[in-house]
Structure 1
Amino acid sequence: MKLARRSVLLLALLVASTALGAAGGRQAVAGERAVIGYKIHIHDLAGQTVDVEASLPVSQPVETLYIPVWTPGYYVKEDYKKNVLRLQAYDEGGRELAVADGGSNRWTVNTSGAKRLVVRYVLSAKERSVSKDEVTSTYAVLNGSATYITVKGGEHLGQEVALDLPKGWVSATGLKRVGPASASHFAAASYEELVDSPIMAGDLEVLDFTSKGTRHQIAYNRGAVAVDKARMASDLKKVVDETRGFWGAKPWRQYAFLIAFRTNTGGGLEHSHSTFVNVNPERFATASGYDAFVALLAHEYQHAFNVKRLRPAELGPFDYETVPTVSTLWISEGLTSYYSNLMLRRSGLIDDDRYLGMMSKQITALQNAPGRLKQSLEQSSMGVWSNSLSGVGASDATVSYYVKGEVAGFLLDAHIRKLTGGKASLDDVMRKAYVQYSGKTGFRPEEFTAVAEGVAGQPLKDWFASVIGAPGEVDYAEALDLYGLDLTRSEGKDGAKFVLSSAANANQSQTARRRSWLGPQ
């Protein structure tokens, strides 16, 4: 049987690798940190399965194993356990141990005096989602929550992953690579970092550039669509340079843009050292589709700062068996959209008209949403697990925290600029909040408000209560007057259409404020 052959291969690799050896049967010596090790075999391409062998520590007679029920950033409770086709457990000597179904997303193992567990399981990998696994004849996508079964209580331990891939395949991920560049052997400081680091492998094209001292990698499956590699790398570097300059971020180890060109898909998911995105190749081949692709990656890269580092307190450390309730996703998603689009404009990838056109679409979407009069941004965020598909597809009774959150960013930015006579802006709020709350604790809603009030130099509780805390119409007048903009409305078969444009009679002061906001021509 293939799994048995691969187990022999794993033992050889564990002996050859000191780190994985510690994870795979050798007892840790005094002062040495225990490591959880995974060996992932991808060879049954036709069957679209993944064989996994995990080496886990034992601390009690009956151990609880689990697979997560959600993926951070994707606010949908999922049943990853259904894709576990077979699971067996052994002690370090190869003796099989009794495994019982623990219900929901769990299993229990009677350890019978074992020092470590070797858990072998097979995963079905047939789903084209930003949070699940897929294996095809030319590439594979492994997402953390869908892939790694772990032992309860071992989340703080170091983690290592070694891939056994088909001949000619390469791998890409935000994880730290162990050994030579050609090795598919990676390490993480904890289970959280491991789960937060998707892996893509296959016949990949891999591009590189450096920004502000950090290496950036672009990896995608070859053959699905023609790609102008030089243009893609140049455009993404412009976005990255502008974004890193905005936040003043210190260099990181690396960052990976992982791109799966596959049909009938879309969307992306943020991670601390990477993003994974689905891109429809037919749409990508069009001018508008390529623009949308760059905008998507700008959004996901903005998330490396706003939500993965500057984060609500509820979003970390994560409980992978319990979903959190968060009231500030309008900041994490709406303001991410606001700033990722501003990065496109400020980097010079788009002009004023294109940017105002993007904001016009959001205003149109908001003003045509009946839910804007029924639900607040806070309520939309807290109800994400039941009122939409991870914030997308709001009903007539709900409002999208993506849409209204971006519009709120536009209005709050103008409000602060007006209050301070142009001496400060929402930019300053975001950067100050980043400095204060991008560590281990995250921020509470009242703390973000306090930062904004400190920058504005005046109370903002009434503004937050009206725009964020209550449903109802928003007032565009202040922003329009500040920047010298017109907002025109026309009626069509799909509802009202709103167009934001530079006013023909804008004065010099308005034009100067617009330039300060959007960046130079």
Structure 2
Amino acid sequence: MQINYFAQLKQPHTHLVTVDVFLSDFEEKQNYLDIFLPVWSPGSYLVREYSRHIAVMKGYDQDRNALMVEKTNKSQWRVHWEWGNVQSIQLSYEVYCHELTVRTSHVDSEHAFLHGPTLWIGVLNQSVSSIHLHLDCPEHWKTISTALTLKYKENNQWCFSAKDYDELLDSPLELGNHFCETFKVKDKTHEVAIYGKSFLPINTLIADIETLVKTELALMSDPPYSHYVFIVHFVPALFGGLEHAQSTVLQFDGRTLLNRKEYVRWLGLVAHEYFHTWNVKRIRPRALGPFDYQQENYTDMLWLAEGLTSFMDDLFVLRSGLCSIEEYLEIQKDNLQRYYATYGRNVQSLAESSYDAWIKFYRPEENTANITVSYYLKGGLLFSALHCVLLTYGHRIDDFILRLWQRYCDNPEQGMDSEEVLAIIEDLTDANMRQKITNWIYGTDDIDFLSFYQIMAIAAQWEEAKELDLGCKIEAVNGRLMLKTVQRNAWAWNSGLNAGDELLAINGIRIYPEEAEKWMSFLAPQTEYLFLMARLGKVLELKLLTPDKEKRLTQLVSSNQEKTRALLS
């Protein structure tokens, strides 16, 4: 079968993309065809029901006779026709695109970001030999950035090709008049396409991205792509990234990049998504490719896909010389603090966290932190500990990654299972260490990360907290001070405070919504207070005795920076 997609964006202010899909050269004679739109995006493990943005699906034969299009489920249609009368089919539909995230499409008068799974229908039970995407853009739009292969451009009509449906979905496009610049590393062109503004000079941004590419390729050797595209959206309050085989989409608040901590965070995001070129897009759990785009693709190995990447991203920033040892250790300290503050680490294993990503990770609510642990967070910490372990066996995390890469190169058509990963760990260490790592992945016992960090001359410093930690988060909502979450077994939980409670006053003194960030600093330890709360329309008085101040991890320090840097290099 040959498929030609024609997308028209002549009125971008409407946020509508009009799509006509022409299908020809059917595999065999038949009188119906099943088509679908994906319900999720690889790399973002939540069913998102993209078909909700399509109003009507229409079908026509080669003579523009209308065909019956029957919707058979939430994201699938069946096109019917009389036996033998149809040689080609045209499918027509509109997609509303007005959500700017890395996993949705956004079209307005300034630009268009087209995310494949939200737009391009697929065909079931047909072998596809040719796919072309034709784009009809506003006359004043002069630039399109994508990893797809450009076949031709005439005026404001562009034509791209994809080798298969997977590549089409995996190749987002940025359209408009955005900034573009390219650089070459190892004879491969890397394009940086930036929509939006930042206060940081563009030449600094480009140079640092190029440095990160060189650093990662120093480990991974030859790039596994013909060319690569960084699509960047600098928009206030956005943060996120999504990996693709030959590109990535990065979203960040460009206003914050002159803040040093935020800039290092930005560099970590770039390094993270670029490393996914190898880890996830090629080295991958067996369940993640080939994909079933119509339902969840379950795996208990996101600790490898995202955990390993989360450890390597900041390490690449350090190795590139773009942050100091002190900045790197500050990031790791923050990670440990978040881990210690997550009660769910006692409840959910890394494997369970991976498997339940579809129903828990992307749907956080008031109790999430009490029953889950992030496979990004704990997975990254696990691989930091594994790196320390490997050092004691004369190896480092690089050797583990290169073994994973060799396994992919030996059998690129099939993803890995956990037994293969654990076998590599055993080969680099021993059977006892394999069992320990297995327990880390499938169990909930705490890992003594700090003892492993001592191998790299890294020590922890603890101090008494400056203010009380009551084990709850409070935020201002519509002029009210509301408890957002309550940590299990912490003071607020044990004192009977609930998520959803409104804090009105303490000891008869009003607490105002604008004090959401500082009200705990008003209180002394081991002191009884009268809390005035509102719950489900009732006002409650609770006499509560505050806890002692806790010891907190305040810093990770290297006692020998030369040794630490050498062991992390």
Cα deviation, residue 470, structure 1: 0.2
Give the greater-gyration-radius structure (CA): 2
Cα deviation, residue 500, structure 1: 4.6
What is the correspondence of 1:194-213 to structure 2 with a 5 Å cutoff? 194-213=168-187
**What's the counterpart of residue 567 of structure 2?**
517
Q: Structure 1 159/117 Cα, relative in aligned 2: closer, same or farther at 3 Å?
A: same
Cα deviation, residue 107, structure 1: 1.1
**What's the counterpart of residue 262 of structure 1?**
235
Cα deviation, residue 159, structure 1: 1.6
Superposition RMSD in Å: 2.2
**What's the counterpart of residue 242 of structure 1?**
215
Q: Structure 1 333/44 Cα, relative in aligned 2: closer, same or farther at 3 Å?
A: same
Give, as a single letter, the amino acid of the residue that structure 2 aligns with 1:403: L
**Secondary structure in structure 1 of the residue aligned to 2:57:** strand
**Secondary structure in structure 1 of the residue aligned to 2:135:** strand
CA distance in 2, matches of 1:105, 1:284: 40
Count of residue pairs brought into register by the alignment: 477
Deviation larger for 203-212 or 454-463: 454-463
Deviation larger for 468-477 or 327-336: 468-477
Unaligned runs of 5+ in 1: 1-33
Deviation larger for 407-416 or 455-464: 455-464
**Secondary structure in structure 1 of the residue aligned to 2:140:** coil
**What's the counterpart of residue 437 of structure 1?**
408
Cα deviation, residue 513, structure 1: 4.7
Deviation larger for 337-346 or 260-269: 260-269
Matched, 1:50 2:17: yes
Cα deviation, residue 82, structure 1: 0.9
2:396 to 400, 403, 425: 425
Q: Structure 1 285/85 Cα, relative in aligned 2: closer, same or farther at 3 Å?
A: farther
**What's the counterpart of residue 446 of structure 2?**
473
What whole-Å deviation, never above 9, does each CA across 1:195-220 have from its counterpart, x for those lacking one?
01111101111010111222110002
**What's the counterpart of residue 387 of structure 1?**
360
Matched, 1:74 2:44: yes
Q: Structure 1 369/490 Cα, relative in aligned 2: closer, same or farther at 3 Å?
A: farther
CA distance in 2, matches of 1:515, 1:392: 39
Cα deviation, residue 386, structure 1: 1.0
**What's the counterpart of residue 53 of structure 2?**
83
**What's the counterpart of residue 110 of structure 1?**
80
Give, as a single letter, the amino acid of the residue that structure 1 aligns with 2:239: G
- Percent identical pairs in the alignment equals 26
Cα deviation, residue 295, structure 1: 1.6
Unaligned runs of 5+ in 2: 472-550
Q: Structure 1 241/390 Cα, relative in aligned 2: closer, same or farther at 3 Å?
A: farther
Deviation larger for 181-190 or 247-256: 181-190
What whole-Å deviation, never above 9, does each CA across 1:404-424 have from its counterpart, x for those lacking one?
011101101101111x1xx21
**What's the counterpart of residue 484 of structure 2?**
none
Give, as a single letter, the amino acid of the residue that structure 2 aligns with 1:517: L
Matched, 1:145 2:117: yes
CA distance in 2, matches of 1:286, 1:56: 51
**What's the counterpart of residue 334 of structure 1?**
307
**Secondary structure in structure 1 of the residue aligned to 2:184:** strand
- The normalised TM-score by structure 1 is 0.87
CA distance in 1, matches of 2:130, 2:565: 48
**What's the counterpart of residue 12 of structure 1?**
none
| Alpha-carbon contact 1:482-1:513 (below 8 Å) kept | no
**What's the counterpart of residue 132 of structure 1?**
104
Deviation larger for 486-495 or 450-459: 486-495
CA distance in 2, matches of 1:158, 1:392: 44
Matched, 1:502 2:557: yes
What is the correspondence of 1:450-465 to structure 2 with a 5 Å cutoff? 450-465=423-438
| Alpha-carbon contact 2:385-2:453 (below 8 Å) kept | no
CA distance in 2, matches of 1:164, 1:254: 24
1:233 to 206, 231, 235: 206
**Secondary structure in structure 2 of the residue aligned to 1:123:** strand
**What's the counterpart of residue 218 of structure 1?**
192
1:101 to 42, 51, 71: 71
**Secondary structure in structure 1 of the residue aligned to 2:245:** coil
Give, as a single letter, the amino acid of the residue that structure 2 aligns with 1:231: T
Matched, 1:191 2:180: no
**What's the counterpart of residue 35 of structure 1?**
2
**What's the counterpart of residue 256 of structure 2?**
283
| Alpha-carbon contact 1:374-1:472 (below 8 Å) kept | no
Q: Structure 1 153/497 Cα, relative in aligned 2: closer, same or farther at 3 Å?
A: farther
| Alpha-carbon contact 1:262-1:281 (below 8 Å) kept | yes
CA distance in 2, matches of 1:132, 1:155: 27
Q: Structure 1 99/181 Cα, relative in aligned 2: closer, same or farther at 3 Å?
A: closer
Cα deviation, residue 497, structure 1: 3.8
Cα deviation, residue 387, structure 1: 1.4
Cα deviation, residue 285, structure 1: 5.6
Cα deviation, residue 56, structure 1: 1.8
What whole-Å deviation, never above 9, does each CA across 1:361-415 have from its counterpart, x for those lacking one?
1111111110111111111001111112179995211111111011101101101
Q: Structure 1 476/151 Cα, relative in aligned 2: closer, same or farther at 3 Å?
A: closer
Cα deviation, residue 68, structure 1: 0.5
Q: Structure 1 440/500 Cα, relative in aligned 2: closer, same or farther at 3 Å?
A: farther
CA distance in 2, matches of 1:503, 1:162: 56
| Alpha-carbon contact 1:334-1:404 (below 8 Å) kept | yes
Cα deviation, residue 477, structure 1: 4.7
Q: Structure 1 390/430 Cα, relative in aligned 2: closer, same or farther at 3 Å?
A: farther
Cα deviation, residue 459, structure 1: 4.2
CA distance in 1, matches of 2:127, 2:436: 41
Q: Structure 1 248/159 Cα, relative in aligned 2: closer, same or farther at 3 Å?
A: same
Give, as a single letter, the amino acid of the residue that structure 2 aligns with 1:109: V
Give, as a single letter, the amino acid of the residue that structure 2 aligns with 1:396: N
**What's the counterpart of residue 159 of structure 1?**
131
Cα deviation, residue 314, structure 1: 0.7
What is the correspondence of 1:173-184 to structure 2 with a 5 Å cutoff? 173-179=146-152, 184=158
**Secondary structure in structure 2 of the residue aligned to 1:184:** strand
CA distance in 2, matches of 1:412, 1:500: 21
CA distance in 2, matches of 1:314, 1:513: 40
CA distance in 2, matches of 1:503, 1:342: 15
Deviation larger for 449-458 or 237-246: 449-458
CA distance in 2, matches of 1:163, 1:63: 25
**Secondary structure in structure 2 of the residue aligned to 1:321:** coil
What is the correspondence of 1:252-401 to structure 2 with a 5 Å cutoff? 252-284=225-257, 286-389=259-362, 394-401=368-375
CA distance in 2, matches of 1:392, 1:198: 30
**Secondary structure in structure 1 of the residue aligned to 2:405:** helix
CA distance in 2, matches of 1:107, 1:95: 18
| Alpha-carbon contact 1:284-1:290 (below 8 Å) kept | yes
Deviation larger for 476-485 or 116-125: 476-485
CA distance in 1, matches of 2:364, 2:275: 18
**What's the counterpart of residue 123 of structure 1?**
95
CA distance in 2, matches of 1:206, 1:446: 43
CA distance in 2, matches of 1:370, 1:269: 28
Cα deviation, residue 136, structure 1: 1.1
